[in-house]
Amino acid sequence: MKSFRDSKGQITIEFILWVGMILVIIVYSSSMVDDAHELNIAMAAARSGAVQGSNMNSFAIYPERAFLEYESSKERLNFPSSIKILRIETINYGFNSTYNRTRIQLRTHVYAPGITQKTYRDSLGSRINYYIRRSITHTFQTQNLTNNLYNPAFSSKYVFTTANVIWI
């Protein structure tokens, strides 16, 4: 009777089938995971930018040009105030052929009980949106694709625009 030696290592057909299936699943899902990961990073950057913009508004320390404008016509904005970012909402507008990317609109919800006048809110909201776009652009190193106002902001697969801030 012939005896089988087991010194060279063997893998079962079942194992090869499993590995094959897992590989196919990984290949198919990797693109989806990559998209989700990129959007996740972009949202983290957006939150970071929103906080940066709201901090500047809260401390009432602005770039010189904005400061002079506020001093002449929006004096209230040169006083510190409490501003809180509640959440940033994303609206997916699908694939945009102009930019060859999926277009996402970001809408920020902000709570600032001390700022009630619309023109003041517009100024502060624009700053928050500017820093959101700037943070996304710097995170993905896409300064060469956008303009001075970082509008729109780009990542590899997405293009981000910002809607007017919603004041609560």
Partner 1 sequence: MDQQGYLTVEFMFTLLVIIFMMTSTINIISERMQMVSETENLSEARHLAENVASAINKVNSGGNGHEITLKMPPNIGDSNYQLWLNSSGVYIESGGRRGKATIYPVRIWFNPSFGPGYRLLPNRTYRLLNRKVQGNTIIYVINVR
Identify which of residues 109 and 138 has a Cβ nearer to partner 1 in the complex.
Answer: 138
Shortest distance, position 151 Cβ to partner 1, whole Å:
18
Whole-angstrom distance, CA of residue 15 vs CA of residue 156: 37
Identify which of residues 80 and 118 has a Cβ nearer to partner 1 in the complex.
Answer: 80
Shortest distance, position 37 Cβ to partner 1, whole Å:
7
Identify which of residues 67 and 109 has a Cβ nearer to partner 1 in the complex.
Answer: 67
Identify which of residues 90 and 96 has a Cβ nearer to partner 1 in the complex.
Answer: 90
Question: Interface residues with partner 1 (CB under 8 A)?
Answer: 37, 41, 44-45, 48-49, 51-52, 55-56, 59-64, 67, 71, 78-80, 135, 138-141
Shortest distance, position 134 Cβ to partner 1, whole Å:
9
How many Cα neighbours within 13 Å face the side chain of 48?
12
**Residue the block writes with tokens 């972009």:** 42
* DSSP one-letter string for 135-163: HHHHHHT-TTTS-TT--SEE-SSEEEEEP
Identify which of residues 2 and 8 has a Cβ nearer to partner 1 in the complex.
Answer: 8
Query: Rg of the chain over CA atoms, in angstroms?
Result: 25
Shortest distance, position 60 Cβ to partner 1, whole Å:
6
Cis (ω within 30 of 0) for the bond into 63?
Answer: no
Q: Name the token pair of 91.
A: 């609206």
**Residue the block writes with tokens 């508004």:** 57
